[in-house]
Amino acid sequence: MTLALFIEQLLNGIQFGVMLFLMAAGLTLVFGVMGLINLAHGSLYMIGAFLCATVALATGSFWLGLVASLAGAAAAGAIVEIVVIRRLYDRDHLDQVLATFALILIFSEGTRWVFGSFPLYLDIPAALQGAVSLPGGAQYPLYRLSIIVVGVLIAFGLYLLISRTRLGMRIRAGESDREMIGALGVDIRTLYTVVFALGAALAGLAGALVGAIQSVQVGMGEPVLILAFVVIVIGGIGSIKGALIGAILVGVVDTLGRILLPNFFELFMGPSQATSVGSALASMAIYILMAIILAVKPQGLFAAGSQ
């Protein structure tokens, strides 16, 4: 493998990790503050992608589509929290899993009914259609690099929000002692709605950004949701810093594993057998990573509340 190819795949892994972070950050906030297992988080990712694609196709502006994905996903999240999720806080986790799984089915069929079964496609905005030169002479898409930059900026913004603002103080207090902040006069219902809407907006943004790389279709959020759960388990439930580091680890290990492992096994196997064995192990790599980290640190890399 050449240096240029390695750097390209490393950047692909970081970009994939950043997308997972946008999903996992909202998921870990919701679980950390509200104690809710939300299987419908991937559906909000899908809604953001469809809203972005629809508005961009109607107006010709990717940027308007991006705004629509943020606003629409946040609104959908707030409505879901008020109408459905609010009734699940005092239930056990099994009831939460069943209810949010039902939401997956409702969102999937509703999206298919509104937008149809055929995939939609987003064009990369003209300002981001170029490429940048990498060491070794390779070219890397400017749009993918922009996703990495956006993810880093959002991570920094979340850090400032949670550590330096009154809302962040309430979120951290909600993670530690929900009953106490309610007794001190904080409107816990409004706080829950804001946190859920924030998580939904991040998921919708992730869906919109990825929609320009792959097709936008019904059910696109469920595979990403599984990886987002892996990320928050590795990083530590309730930790934004853990979500970022866990997401980058998962993205890089998954991407490089799919390239390096088949090449490694070719050293002592035939090409077809090496590809088969390497691909199988690559698909398991992130789960092996999760098992190793949990064996060493059962609560994940960062304990809950490490922002």
Residue 123: pLDDT band (50, 70, 90) is: confident
pLDDT at residue number 176: 64
CA 172, CA 174: separation in Å to the nearest integer?
5
Angle subtended at Cα 18 by Cα 204 and Cα 53, rounded to the nearest 5 degrees: 35
Percent of the chain residues topping a pLDDT of 90? 46
pLDDT in tens, 50-66: 999 999 999 989 999 99
Q: Provide the 3-class DSSP secondary structure of residue 216.
A: strand
Of the pLDDT bands very low, low, confident and very high (cuts 50, 70, 90), residue 167 is: confident
Q: Is 267 helix (H, G, I), strand (E, B) or coil?
A: coil
pLDDT of residue 175: 63
Number of helices and strands in the chain (H, E): 11, 2
Question: Please, what is the angle between helix 240-265 and helix 142-164, to 10°?
Answer: 150
* Average pLDDT for the chain: 87
- Determine the pLDDT at residue 135: 75
pTM of the model: 0.88
- Distance between alpha carbon 185 and the CA centroid of its chain, in Å? 33
Phi, psi of 187 (to 5 degrees): -75, 95
41-59 vs 3-34: helix crossing angle, rounded to 10: 120
Place 209 in a pLDDT band, splitting at 50, 70 and 90.
very high
Interhelix angle 142-164/166-176, rounded to 10 degrees, is: 80
* CA nearest neighbour of 28 among 267, 260, 301: 301
The domain limits of the chain are: 8-124+139-296
